[in-house]
Structure 1
């Protein structure tokens, strides 16, 4: 192929390549269909669960490149719910979430490693009480997010375990376990 023909074809090939590059799938978390719970051992015999019912977030997944996915979820620590008034007061106070000073908790996932069409690992960072640490969220989608139809909502659940001491929550160690199991249930709507 001659040099002038290549010069004419090159812009067309570049346009074709750009047209075939998949646009990211963008989702917004449906606050009514989403929540976060945190469960911790209590006296080594039972457990207590706190709930964070108010959250917002976005998810972007690039078809063919899930490792470029971005999940950004913020939940309102001031809306925290607990099984009784004493637990609620303590969790909202300075020794735990200190919601007056740190009203939000945030997870930002920077990559999605799919192990199957509906299961994967999101590597990211969790910020609580002003401390940001790397964490891994194990996720399961209710359908393959990479082949979802345009306009289709997708549900997913996520699980992670953290050590509360890493986030400055060191009180009541004899009574309250150090490991916290966090569960995220989310409904993502296009947008």
Structure 2
């Protein structure tokens, strides 16, 4: 609960002066988490309820504040049994930990419209460092904060780092997270 409250407060804070701000369009944002299953295939969970904001510094190429909140209670999966297990105490434990939070605090540009965003992921009451590889649909030089921007981002985590250790012989340790979202012009 503290993480969700801290994230909500962080998202409500005003962007620094001179920042180019965007908010995540909840109608056009999806997060997918994919994990190996029996070493032969994979299982994917979809998180359709995502909200957040991004503030890019117009003065500092590395300046960034990114806060994204994912509603784990809205988790969807390929079948009811998998959905129930993923929402349960062995995995996301959504009754105790409703949100998964990503907070990005710095950005290293890797191309005209790509970057590495360093920050943290908080899930199940645990916070760990994480880096997102992000592709923006626009060149950084063309971003003014007045036009929509599409992002595709990904990272990989070890589920054990967040206390998710159930079914170690069936479910893989590495989870690939993919974010697909439209960012809309700033909203304070």
Q: Which TM-score bucket, shorter chain as reference? A: 0.7 to 0.9
Q: 1:164 maps to which residue?
A: 159
Q: 2:9 maps to which residue?
A: none
Indicate the structure (1 or 2) with the bigger Cα radius of gyration: 1
SS in 2 for 1:187: strand
Do the aligned partners of 1:92 and 1:99 also contact (CA within 8 Å) in 2? Answer: yes
Do the aligned partners of 1:145 and 1:154 also contact (CA within 8 Å) in 2? Answer: no
**Bigger fraction of residues in strand:** 2
Q: Which moved more, 1:142-151 or 1:24-33?
A: 142-151
The count of residues paired between Structure 1 and Structure 2 equals 170
CA shift at 1:33, angstroms?
Answer: 1.0
Match of 1:105 among 82, 100, 105: 100
1:96–1:150 distance in 2 versus 1, CA, 3 Å: closer
What is the CA–CA distance in structure 1 between the aligned matches of 2:123 and 2:61, rounded to whole Å?
26
CA shift at 1:71, angstroms?
Answer: 0.7
Stretches of structure 1 that go unaligned for 5 or more consecutive residues are: 1-21
CA shift at 1:150, angstroms?
Answer: 4.5
State whether structure 2 residue 157 is matched by structure 1 residue 148: no
Q: 1:8 maps to which residue?
A: none
State whether structure 2 residue 94 is matched by structure 1 residue 73: no
Q: 1:85 maps to which residue?
A: 80
Q: How does 1:29-48 map to 2 (within 5 A)?
A: 29-48=24-43
Q: TM-score scaled to structure 2, two decimals?
A: 0.88
**Bigger fraction of residues in helix:** 1
Q: 2:4 maps to which residue?
A: none
Do the aligned partners of 1:61 and 1:69 also contact (CA within 8 Å) in 2? Answer: yes
Q: 1:50 maps to which residue?
A: 45
4+ residue segments displaced more than 4 Å: none
Q: 1:120 maps to which residue?
A: 115
Stretches of structure 2 that go unaligned for 5 or more consecutive residues are: 1-16
Do the aligned partners of 1:66 and 1:111 also contact (CA within 8 Å) in 2? Answer: no
